[in-house]
Amino acid sequence: MGRRIADVSAPARLAGPGEGLGQDELALAARNHALPLEAMRHDVTPPGLHYVLTHYDIPYVPDAAAWRLTVGGHVRRPLGLSPARLRAYPAVTTRVTLECAGNGRALLTPRPVSQPWLVGAVGTADWTGVPLRVLLDEAGVRAGAVDVVFTGADHGVERGVEQDYQRSLPLSTATGDDPEVLVAYAMNGAPLPPQHGSPLRLVVPGWYGMAQVKWLRAVTVLDGPFTGFQQSVAYRIRKAPGDTGEPVTRIAPRALLIPPGFPDFMSRTRVVAPGTVALEGRAWSGSAPVTAVEVSTDAGATWRPAELEPDHGHRWAWRRWSGVWSAVPGHHVLSARAHDAAGHTQPSEQPWNLGGFANNLVQRVPVFCSGTA
């Protein structure tokens, strides 16, 4: 019988051919909330419908006023900031679409055994807080600074490594103004809910969720690169276990359909009546603005342009798109795909990697059109 903490962790693995999900994956799926796709009708996601991924436990913070955010390390004037003190700075509100880097993982073959997202690990909120560079300016970053590390209050074990959740950004990103990184204290105009990082969290527009450190308690400037678990071991694009891999950073483009019609309870197959069916959804990209969305109603064999709404001044939020479909009786598969200004689009073959990250394969929505032809 093991006596070391490391023994509670199993090694990373891939599911075997045809292997269903295990209770470990189910435990994660039950804890970590996906966005029900019909909730994409809301420009701003109601907080209880926004996706949530928590590596360990949601910290219990009965007295938010006692919380302190430290800004320290390679700085001249370390800071200790209460939530009230942060609210005294000029507030910035940014509408941001956040997406988990593992979104789409459970659709991969073979399936990396981890949080089993289908496509709903996304959400959009108005985040209010203080630009991180304002705090770093006040602390006075010293010459030679390289990375800025963000430490959350969530604590656990992962592949044998006991840790507080920690991620870093390069100094240039942490102090940049496009995107402007926020230390946020409000979501959609209300204090952060517990599962979204109450009382303080990081928001890095355009980056996948692993960068958006919740329950933020320390900002630490380093004079060298950060090599913590979540930076050097997890969240890297690797084809084989020995690879160094590329870091996961910005969100790849994706368009999702709001499944039309109504569902079957168990299969979630959609049912529509013959005739004109309004299609709508959302599209986003963290690397560059979305420039076009296409839809397919024949499982990706042919594509046609959708109407793409302007961003209404919200560069970092998803954009609404729409189209129409003349449905005829039978079984159909609907899809959408996004293109961005950097020339990226969504693949029709799965972009597989060991961790199951950044899988932006086009969505498939099975629809049954009832009636007779």
Closest separation in Å from C-beta 74 to a copy of itself = 29
Longest dimension (CA), the chain: 75
Query: Strand, coil or helix: what is 65?
Result: helix
Residues of span 321-360 touching a copy of itself by CB under 8 A? 329-331
Closest separation in Å from C-beta 236 to a copy of itself = 16
Residues of span 257-276 touching a copy of itself by CB under 8 A? 259, 262-269, 271
- CB nearer to a copy of itself: pick between 117 and 127: 117
| Residue 77 binds a copy of itself (CB under 8 A) | no
Closest separation in Å from C-beta 30 to a copy of itself = 4
> Which position among 21, 44, 233, 292 is part of the footprint of a copy of itself (CB under 8 A)?
21
| Residue 307 binds a copy of itself (CB under 8 A) | no
Closest separation in Å from C-beta 60 to a copy of itself = 5
Residues linked to residue 14 through DSSP beta bridges, in sequence order: 112
User: Are 51 and 122 a contacting pair, CB within 8 Å?
Assistant: yes
> Which position among 17, 20, 242, 310 is part of the footprint of a copy of itself (CB under 8 A)?
20
Letters for 220-259 (x = contact with a copy of itself by CB under 8 A, - = none) are ---------------------------------------x
- CB nearer to a copy of itself: pick between 62 and 90: 62
How many whole angstroms separate alpha carbon 136 and alpha carbon 141?
6
Residues of span 82-101 touching a copy of itself by CB under 8 A? none
- CB nearer to a copy of itself: pick between 31 and 315: 31
> Which position among 98, 108, 113, 202 is part of the footprint of a copy of itself (CB under 8 A)?
113
| Residue 4 binds a copy of itself (CB under 8 A) | yes
Give the chain's radius of gyration (CA, Å).
21
| Residue 364 binds a copy of itself (CB under 8 A) | no
| Residue 110 binds a copy of itself (CB under 8 A) | no
> Which position among 82, 93, 166, 195 is part of the footprint of a copy of itself (CB under 8 A)?
195
Pick from 200, 202, 193: nearest CA to 85: 200
Whole-Å CA distances, 249 to 79, 211, 261: 28, 8, 36
How many whole angstroms separate alpha carbon 338 and alpha carbon 252?
10
Pick from 242, 252, 231: nearest CA to 119: 252
Determine the interface stretch with a copy of itself among 75-83, 138-146, 192-200, 211-219 (rule: CB under 8 A). Answer: 192-200
How many whole angstroms separate alpha carbon 224 and alpha carbon 148?
9
Closest separation in Å from C-beta 341 to a copy of itself = 31
Pick from 321, 282, 359: nearest CA to 100: 359
How many whole angstroms separate alpha carbon 149 and alpha carbon 151?
7
Residues of span 32-71 touching a copy of itself by CB under 8 A? 33-34, 36, 38-39, 41-42, 46-50, 52, 54-58, 60
Closest separation in Å from C-beta 102 to a copy of itself = 12
| Residue 192 binds a copy of itself (CB under 8 A) | no
Preceding peptide of 191 cis, ω within 30°: no
User: Are 32 and 48 a contacting pair, CB within 8 Å?
Assistant: no
| Residue 26 binds a copy of itself (CB under 8 A) | yes
Cα-Cα-Cα-Cα torsion 301, 106, 98, 342, nearest 10 degrees, comes to: -40
What are the structure tokens assigned to 78, written together? Answer: 């370390």
Whole-Å CA distances, 372 to 272, 362, 363: 13, 30, 27
Closest separation in Å from C-beta 4 to a copy of itself = 7
